Amino acid sequence: MAIFTTSDDVSGLLPEDYGSLIVQPVTAASVAFQVADVIPTSLHRYIIPLVTDDPSASWTAEGQEIAESDPTFDKLVIEPAKLAALTETTTEMLEDADPEAGDVIGASIARDIAKKVDAAFFGNLASPAPKGLGSITADVNTVTVSGGALTDLDAFAAAISASADNGGNIRYFVANPSDVLLISTLKKQADSIEPVLGANVARPGAQSVFGVPLLRSPAVPIGTIWGIDPAYAKLILRKNVDIDTSEHAAFTRDAVLIRAVMRVGFGFPHPKAISRINITA
C-alpha cells in the first residue's frame, strides 16, 4: 500500500498527519519557543522597525514656538533559515508496526528539531544557522559571578535590576541542567537543609527565582544563565513545519522517505533588556 493516496479508506500516515505529530511536540519541547515572542510570517524577510533615538521634549514658555525634533529610526532584518530533517522507513514498518511507527518517527523528528532550534537560539552557530543569543557581544547586561559557583541569588537580583533599568522585564531565566541542579540545592544557610528556592505548589517540579520561572536547556553552556524578556527576543517562524513523504525516491527498497522542513530566525531588537549571568572560576 502506497503512503501517498487519496483514498478515503486507507490506513497509514499522510503528510498532514505527520504535521500534527511533529509541530506540536516541537513547540512544547523547545525552550526557545517557550521564552521567545513567536511571530509566524509568510514573508522571506521579517523587518522590525527600531527607534534608536527618541524625539526631544523641551520646557516651553507660554506663546513661544515649540522646538521641533524627530526620532531616529533603524531596522532589524530577520531572514528565517531552513532546518530540515530527512528519514527513511520501510513500508512494512509504517503499515504493520505496533505501536504506530508514525508516532515514533514523528516524535523522533520533533525531538531533534527542538534540540537544533534551541542550540541555535542560545548559541552562536555558523551560517546557515540563524544567529542566537550567544552572538550578541554588545549591550547585553552581564553579571559576573566569580569563584566558579553560585552561593546565593544576588546575581539573579542584579540581572533583573539591570534589565529593568533599560526598560526590560525579565520573564524567564534559562540555564544548563547542571546549573539548575546547583541552584536548586542552594541552602538558606550553611547548617540548614531548607533550600533557597521554595516549592511551587501549583506546578510541582517547576522552579522560580524571585518569581521568575527558571527553565533548563542543555543548549545553554554550563556557567551561563540567560535572563530573557520575550518582548525583545523574537522567534520568527516562516509558515510552519512542512511535511512531505515520498515512496518514489526509495522505490526499489519499498521504503518511504519523510522530510520535515522548518524555517526560523531570531532577532533581539533591544539587547539591553536581556541579562546574562556568567559564572567564572
Question: CATH code at 242?
Answer: 3.30.2320.10
What DSSP designation does 187 have? B
In a domain, 89, yes or no: yes
Q: Where are the alpha helices (DSSP H) in the chain?
A: 15-29, 31-35, 91-96, 101-122, 154-165, 177-184
Predicted pLDDT of residue 49: 80
In a domain, 154, yes or no: yes
Residue-wise pLDDT for 78-101, tens only, equals 899 999 888 777 777 666 655 565
Report whether 197 contacts 208 (CB < 8 A): yes
Alpha-carbon distance of 205 to 249, in angstroms, equals 46
| Nearest residue to 265 via CA among 120, 124, 125 | 120
Number of domains present in the structure of the chain: 1
Amino acid 148: pLDDT = 82
Q: What confidence category does residue 38 fall into, taking pLDDT thresholds of 50, 70 and 90?
A: very high
pLDDT digits 0-9 by tens, 88-145: 777 776 666 555 656 667 677 778 888 999 999 999 999 999 999 999 988 899 999 9
User: 268 pLDDT exceeds 80?
Assistant: yes
Contact of 173 with 216, CB cutoff 8 Å = no
Domain that holds residue 134: 15-51+71-279
DSSP letter at 220 equals: S
Q: How far is CA 15 from CA 3, 210, 246, 256, in A?
A: 9, 44, 10, 12
In a domain, 218, yes or no: yes
